[in-house]
Homo-oligomer: A and B are copies of this chain.
Amino acid sequence: MKPLTEYTKTELGAELNQLQIQYQEAHAQNLSLNMARGKPAPSQLDFSNEMLKEMETYRLEDGSDARNYGMVEGIPECRKLFGDLLGINPDQVLIGNNSSLSLMFDSVSLLCLLGTEGCKPWSYYKYEGTPVKFLCPVPGYDRHFTICEKLGIEMIQVPMTEEGPDMEIVTKLVREDPLIKGIWCVPLYSNPQGICYSDRTVEQLASMETAAPDFRIFWDNAYGVHHIYEEVALKDILKECEKAGHPNRPYYFFSTSKISFSGAGLALFASSPANIAERKAFLSTQTIGPNKLTQLRHVQFFKTPENIRAHMKKMADDLRPKFDLVLNTLDHELADTGLATWSRPKGGYFVSLDTLPGCAKKTIELAKECGITLTGSGAAYPYGKDPEDRNIRIAPTFPSLEELRQAMDIFVLCVKIVGIEKTLDEMK
Contacts and interface: CB of A to CB of B under 8 A. Distances in A.
List of 6 A-B pairs having minimum Cβ-Cβ separation, nearest first: A264-B293, A102-B287, A263-B292, A67-B261, A99-B287, A69-B262
Contacts of A151: 113
Contacts of A294: 264, 291, 293-294
Interface string A357-385: 00000000000000000000000000000
Contact of A292 (B52, B58, B264): B264
24 contacts: A39-B69, A40-B68, A42-B68, A45-B68, A48-B67, A49-B58, A52-B55, A53-B54, A54-B54, A69-B263, A101-B286, A101-B288, A102-B287, A109-B113, A113-B151, A123-B123, A123-B127, A127-B127, A146-B285, A147-B285, A257-B288, A261-B293, A263-B291, A264-B294
A101 B291 contact: no
Contacts of A49: 58
Contacts of A290: 97-98
Contacts of A285: 105, 143, 146-147, 150
Contacts of A45: 65, 67-68
Name the residue in A48, A67, A112, A262 with the highest tally of chain B Cβ atoms < 10 Å from its Cβ. A67
Nearest to A103: B287
A7 interface: no
A275 to B, nearest CB: 17
Contacts of A147: 285
A69 B53 CA distance: 20
A114 interface: yes
A229 interface: no
A67 to B, nearest CB: 4
Given A143-B285, A293-B261, A42 B65 contact: yes
A134 to B, nearest CB: 15
Given A39-B68, A97-B98, A288 B262 contact: yes
Report the copy number of this chain in the oligomer. Answer: 2
A52 B289 CA distance: 19
Interface in A259-317: 261-264, 282, 284-294
A66 interface: yes
Interface in A29-75: 37, 39-40, 42, 45, 48-49, 52-55, 58, 65-71
A413 to B, nearest CB: 29
A175 to B, nearest CB: 28
Given A67-B261, A68-B45, A293 B146 contact: no
Contacts of A69: 37, 39, 257, 262-263
Contact of A262 (B48, B67, B146, B282): B67
Contact of A97 (B37, B97, B127, B261): B97
Contacts of A113: 109, 112-113, 123, 151
A405 B143 CA distance: 54
A301 B19 CA distance: 55
Contacts of A124: 127
A21 to B, nearest CB: 37
